[in-house]
Structure 1
Amino acid sequence: MRRRQVIALGLALAASGLAGAAGCGAQGATGRGVRGRFAIVPQGDRWARVAGALATAAWDAGFAVSRHDQATPITVTGLPALAAAELNDGPTLLDTATPLARLAGEIEVVLVPAASKFRDFEDFGAHLLARPGETVLAGGPRGEPDHLLFGLVVRGLGADTREVVYTGYPSSVEVAAALLGGKVAAAAGTLADWRHDIRKGRFRALAVSCAHRVDGIDAPSLLESGVRVDFAAWSAAVGPHGMAGDTRDAALEMCEAVSDSAPWREVCRRRGWSALPLFGDDFAAWLATEIGRTRGVLRDLGLVDTDSTTCGPSCVSGH
Structure 2
Amino acid sequence: MRRRRFFAWGLGLAACATGCGTERFAGSAAGPRARFSINPQGRRWTRVGQAFAGAARAAGYETGGGTRITVTGLPALAAAELNNGQTLLDTATPLSRLSGEVEVVVVPATSPFKDFEDFGAHLLARPGQTRLAGGPEGEPDHLLFGLIARGLGVDTRQLAYTGYLSSQEAVTELLSGKAAAAAGPLADWRASIKAGRVRALAVSSARRVPGLDAPTLLESGVRVDFADWSAAFGPENMPDEIRETAVRMCEDVTGSADWEAACRSEGWISIPLGGDDFKLWLGSEVERTRAVLRDLGLVDTTKATTCWGSCGNGH
On whether the aligned pair clears a TM of 0.5, the verdict is yes
| Equivalenced residues, count | 291
Residue 310 of structure 2 is matched in structure 1 by: none
1:246 to 229, 238, 241: 241
Residue 40 of structure 1 is matched in structure 2 by: 38
In structure 1, stretches of 5+ residues that fail to align are 307-319
> Per-residue CA shift, 1:141-180, capped at 9, x if unaligned?
0000000000000000001100111000111111111111
- 2:136 corresponds to 1:136: no
- 2:280 corresponds to 1:285: yes
- 2:208 corresponds to 1:213: yes
Residue 119 of structure 2 is matched in structure 1 by: 124
Higher mean displacement: 212-221 or 271-280: 212-221
Give the conservation status (yes or no) of the 8 Å contact 1:22–1:51: no
Residue 13 of structure 1 is matched in structure 2 by: 13
Q: Which residues in structure 2 correspond to 1:188-203 (within 5 Å)?
A: 188-203=183-198
Give the conservation status (yes or no) of the 8 Å contact 1:79–1:233: yes
| CA distance in 1: counterparts of 2:72 and 2:172, whole angstroms | 30
- 2:45 corresponds to 1:51: no
For the aligned residues, what is the CA RMSD? 1.7
> Per-residue CA shift, 1:37-84, capped at 9, x if unaligned?
111001100001101111111111112332x3xx10000000000000
Residue 181 of structure 1 is matched in structure 2 by: 176
Q: Report the structure, 1 or 2, having the larger helix content.
A: 1
The 3 A distance-change label for structure 1 pair 101 and 74 is same
SS in 1 for 2:233: strand
In the TM superposition, structure 1's runs of 4+ consecutive aligned residues that sit over 3 Å from their partners are: 18-22
Residue 73 of structure 2 is matched in structure 1 by: 78
Give the conservation status (yes or no) of the 8 Å contact 1:22–1:42: no
Taking structure 2 as the reference length, the TM-score comes to 0.89
| CA distance in 2: counterparts of 1:195 and 1:7, whole angstroms | 29
Give the conservation status (yes or no) of the 8 Å contact 2:11–2:235: no
Give the conservation status (yes or no) of the 8 Å contact 2:16–2:46: no
Taking structure 1 as the reference length, the TM-score comes to 0.88
> How far off is 1:20 after superposition?
5.4
- 2:266 corresponds to 1:271: yes
SS in 1 for 2:223: coil
SS in 1 for 2:241: helix
> How far off is 1:12 after superposition?
2.3
SS in 1 for 2:94: strand
Higher mean displacement: 168-177 or 84-93: 168-177
Give the conservation status (yes or no) of the 8 Å contact 1:179–1:185: yes
Residue 315 of structure 1 is matched in structure 2 by: none
In structure 2, stretches of 5+ residues that fail to align are 302-315
Higher mean displacement: 106-115 or 169-178: 169-178
